[in-house]
Amino acid sequence: MQPETSRTDIRNQARQAFGLLRRAAHPDRKHLAWAILWLVVAAGLEVLGPLLGKKLIDEHLLPHRADWPRMAMLLAGVLVFSWSASWLRYLQLVRLSGLAMRSVQRLREWVFGHVLRLPMAFFDHAITGQLVSRVTNDTEAVKRLYIQALFVILDSGIVVLGTTAAMAWLDWRLMLIVLALVPAVLFIVWLYQRLSAPAVTRARALRSDINGQMAESIGGMSVLQANNAAQRFGQRFADTNAAHYKARVAELRANALLLRPALDLLNVILLAVVIYSFGQRAMSSVEVGVLYAFISYITRVVEPLIQITMQFSSLQQAIVAASRVNALLAEPEATEHSAGRAAGAPQRVARQDAPAVRVRGLNFAYVPGQPVLHDLSLEIAQGAFVGVVGHTGSGKSTLLSLLLRYYTPASGSIEICGEPLAAISNERFRAEVGLVPQDPFLLAASARENIDMGRGLPQERIEEAARAAHAHDFIAALEQGYDTPLGESGSRLSTGQKQLVAIARALAGSPRILLLDEATSHIDSQTEQVVQEALDELRGRVTVIAIAHRLSTIRSADRIIVLNHGRIAESGAHEELMRIDGGLYQRLYQLQQLAA
Ligand X SMILES: Nc1ncnc2c1ncn2[C@@H]1O[C@H](COP(=O)(O)OP(=O)(O)OP(=O)(O)O)[C@@H](O)[C@H]1O
In the complex, which residues of this chain contact ligand X (CB under 6 A)?
Answer: 124, 366-367, 372, 390, 392-398, 438
Q: Which does 398 bind (CB under 5 to 8 A by kind): Mg ion, ligand X, none?
A: ligand X
What is the distance between the alpha carbons of residues 469 and 527, in angstroms, rounded to a whole number? 10
Pick the piece of the chain touching Mg ion (CB under 5 A) from 122-130, 203-211, 272-280, 395-403: 395-403
Q: State the pairing for strand pair 371-380/385-390.
A: unpaired
Pick the piece of the chain touching Mg ion (CB under 5 A) from 127-135, 160-168, 259-267, 390-398: 390-398
What is the distance between the alpha carbons of residues 579 and 164, in angstroms, rounded to a whole number? 96
Considering the complex, state which of residue 223 and residue 238 has its C-beta at the smaller distance from ligand X: 223
Considering the complex, state which of residue 466 and residue 519 has its C-beta at the smaller distance from Mg ion: 519
What is the distance between the alpha carbons of residues 499 and 531, in angstroms, rounded to a whole number? 10
Give the nearest distance from C-beta 370 to ligand X in angstroms: 7
Considering the complex, state which of residue 234 and residue 393 has its C-beta at the smaller distance from ligand X: 393
Give the nearest distance from C-beta 388 to ligand X in angstroms: 8
Half-sphere exposure of 323 (CA within 13 A, CB side): 20
Binding flag, residue 521, Mg ion (CB under 5 A): no
Give the nearest distance from C-beta 343 to Mg ion in angstroms: 31
Burial class (CB in 10 A: 0-12, 13-18, 19+), 63: exposed
Q: Which does 392 bind (CB under 5 to 8 A by kind): ligand X, Mg ion, none?
A: ligand X
Burial class (CB in 10 A: 0-12, 13-18, 19+), 257: middle
DSSP 229-266: -HHHHHHHHHHHHHHHHHHHHHHHHHHHHHSHHHHHHH
Q: Which does 49 bind (CB under 5 to 8 A by kind): ligand X, Mg ion, none?
A: none
Q: What is the CA radius of gyration of the chain?
A: 35
Q: Which does 239 bind (CB under 5 to 8 A by kind): Mg ion, ligand X, none?
A: none
Among 84, 97, 397, 484, binds Mg ion (CB under 5 A): 397
What is the distance between the alpha carbons of residues 575 and 306, in angstroms, rounded to a whole number? 85
Q: Which does 82 bind (CB under 5 to 8 A by kind): ligand X, Mg ion, none?
A: none
Burial class (CB in 10 A: 0-12, 13-18, 19+), 223: exposed
Backbone angles phi, psi at 60, to 5 degrees: -120, -50
Considering the complex, state which of residue 320 and residue 577 has its C-beta at the smaller distance from ligand X: 577
- Residue 117 identity: R
Binding flag, residue 586, Mg ion (CB under 5 A): no
Considering the complex, state which of residue 17 and residue 372 has its C-beta at the smaller distance from ligand X: 372
Give the nearest distance from C-beta 397 to Mg ion in angstroms: 3
Considering the complex, state which of residue 124 and residue 239 has its C-beta at the smaller distance from ligand X: 124
Give the nearest distance from C-beta 577 to ligand X in angstroms: 18
Considering the complex, state which of residue 356 and residue 402 has its C-beta at the smaller distance from ligand X: 402
Q: Which does 394 bind (CB under 5 to 8 A by kind): Mg ion, ligand X, none?
A: ligand X
Burial class (CB in 10 A: 0-12, 13-18, 19+), 83: exposed
